[in-house]
Amino acid sequence: MNNADEGRLTIGAVARKAGVHVETVRYYQRKGLLPEPPRPPGGVRYYGPEVVDLILFIKQVQYLGFTLREVADLLSFAAGDCTKLEWLAEAKLSEVDSRLTDLGLVREELEQLLRECREGRIATDWGLVEAVIGKKRGSGTGEG
């Protein structure tokens, strides 16, 4: 490595530092989320250390529920222009609220199943299935 390459990372080093596979780095490049440095003739591509931070950002917002398309939108916002960012954040917040409502319903169903089990009302191997789908059948939404 010559002096011009100091502080630069190979794709393998970037992947290790970011805790991802090399193929993940390549995939993000194909999706336009990461820059692809030029390859010198017969040489190795080198990345700046900022690419590691960018990958960590992508992984974190994915964990928060953003799709890669939404990540691309987040990365495309111009500094100081919050219009698109506000729209995306509001949409994601609405989605989170909806998921929280759904999770509350799941919690209620699980609590009901636990009560029925502890009271001995689920006695057969199929009792759990019947307890879950029985409510659907009883509400007239089941087929049969």
Number of domains in the chain: 2
- Per residue in 123-144, pLDDT (tens digit) is 566 556 666 666 555 554 444 4
Backbone angles phi, psi at 94, to 5 degrees: -60, -40
Binned at pLDDT 50, 70 and 90, residue 8 comes out as: confident
Could you tell me if 26 and 4 lie in one domain? Answer: yes
- Per residue in 66-75, pLDDT (tens digit) is 899 989 888 8
Could you tell me if 95 and 65 lie in one domain? Answer: no
Domain containing residue 11: CATH number: 1.10.1660.10
Residue in 13, 21, 57 with CA at minimum distance from that of residue 37 = 13
